[in-house]
Amino acid sequence: MFAAPVPRRRVLVGAAAGALLLAVAAVGIRTMDADSPSPAGATASHASPQTVAPGSSTGPTRDPANRRTVRLVAAGDVLIHPAVTEQARRDAARAGGMDFAPMFAGVAPAVRGADLALCHLETPLADPAGPFAGYPSFNAPPQVLDGLRATGFDGCSTASNHTLDQGADGVARTIRALDAAGLRHTGSARSAAEAARPRIYQVGDVRVAHLAYSLNFNGLSRPPGQPWLANLIDPPAILAAAHKARAAGADIVVLSLHWGTEYQHLPDADQRAWAQQLISSPDVDLILGHHAHAVQPFQRFGDKWVVFGMGNELARHEEPINDNREGVMARATFTETAPGRWTVTRMEALPTWTDLAPALRLVDLTAALADPGTPPGLRGDYRAACRRVLGYVRALGAGADQVVASGG
């Protein structure tokens, strides 16, 4: 199993305001893990810091004007279809194993280079030995988490239309696996207490809250009395949670929304209405969208951004088409433009593409096109995919100077 440590950054993770009182560690990536691995109903009383991986200290990042900055990278759906699992088996060093890391290796430089990297885990996870299932009721191998961690992700949103595919057991199993892999999570929970604690990452001396909600659960309902099991989009509840995160000390509040109409490149009426309402709140700094299996625009609202849809990060649909092979990662640089005020001063789009043969591989298109080692036979397809993705990203008026095409 590929299990390289993540050689960067200064991310601490907390899930409770009390944990934020802890001093920033001088070296390495640490977590303040108030809920891991707690059983259902546990409280946030055991909030002691815990080193999860060795790393090098970079200290607080400052821009040339000596302002503090945080560089966030976010990705679209990680959707583990059976063909993705088959590729992980083929990539494993030993028979019977699975290694998902090679599939993500193309985007690892971009992910590792961020101060904070967030993915979207669309499906519940099974036990390591299975049984596994694909669409419509997913149950994916938890081994994918080792791949995400090795790629450099710090945490994932877990609220999606598939969150309840395997019931409450699936939710609990997924969260246990994330905790065990050293990945943080938000969007589903094992208890009311767990759901009530805002997920807060400590990035150097900056606190970033991450909240996540889904538009539906594919017709499934949360059991009576357990609305905390998975977060459903409900603007008043989202705004209350964002306010609570801010009150808990978050400098920056990031909201992940699983929303939209599948295979549509433009936001639907619900997305537009929710975006306007939520991004207008002083408690929401950035919205990151996914679900549509197609790239959607990055749109500016005042001095904030809504990323309507990042498409798939990694998936292998039964019918691979350009839409579901294309994706985009968003890279947002937050700068403290006035004391305590954080603004996205640079927004970048990192177009991606999934190669299907000879192996399933996620490609960072800008980086691949800049690499002289990329075979000439692939360049035409990569250039065309890159152009399409940037077209979707900028379809609602963002200029090339506003959403900068990047890679690596």
Minimum CB separation of residue 272 from Zn ion in Å reads: 19
The answer to whether residues 22 and 32 touch, using CB atoms and an 8 Å cutoff, is yes
Site string for Zn ion, 338-377 (x = CB under 5 A): ----------------------------------------
User: Are 151 and 145 a contacting pair, CB within 8 Å?
Assistant: no
| Alpha carbon distance 63, 211 (integer Å) | 27
Nearer to Zn ion, 291 or 331 (CB): 291
Cβ at position 76, least distance to Zn ion in Å: 10
Nearer to Zn ion, 36 or 161 (CB): 161
- State the minimum distance, in angstroms, from the CB of residue 330 to Zn ion: 17
CB of 214 to Zn ion, least distance (A): 8
User: What's the min distance (Å) between Cβ of 6 and Zn ion?
Assistant: 27
In angstroms, the CA 14 to CA 33 distance is 6
Residues from 14 through 73 that contact Zn ion (CB under 5 A): none
Task: For the segment 118-177, give every residue that binds Zn ion (CB under 5 A).
Answer: 160-161
Q: Which lies closer to Zn ion via its Cβ, residue 217 or residue 353?
A: 217
Of residues 173 and 291, the one with the C-beta less far from Zn ion: 291
| Residues 263-292 within binding reach of Zn ion (CB under 5 A) | 291
Least distance between Zn ion and beta carbon 156 (Å): 14
The least distance separating Zn ion from the CB of residue 115, rounded to whole angstroms, comes to: 27
Q: Assess 231 for contact with Zn ion (CB under 5 A).
A: no
Nearer to Zn ion, 238 or 398 (CB): 238
Q: Is the Cβ of residue 151 or residue 158 nearer to Zn ion in the bound state?
A: 158
In the chain, the amino acid numbered 51 is T
User: Which residue of the chain is nearest Zn ion when measured via CB?
Assistant: 291
* Separation CA 255–CA 212 (nearest Å): 6
| Nearest distance in Å: CB 262, Zn ion | 8
Q: 68 or 81: whose CB is closer to Zn ion?
A: 81
- Closer by beta carbon to Zn ion, 9 or else 258: 258
Total number of residues that touch Zn ion (CB under 5 A): 3
Q: Report 186-215 residues binding Zn ion (CB under 5 A).
A: none
Q: How far is the CB of 107 from Zn ion (least distance, A)?
A: 20
Nearest CB to Zn ion, comparing residues 160 and 202: 160
Q: Which residues bind Zn ion (CB under 5 A)?
A: 160-161, 291
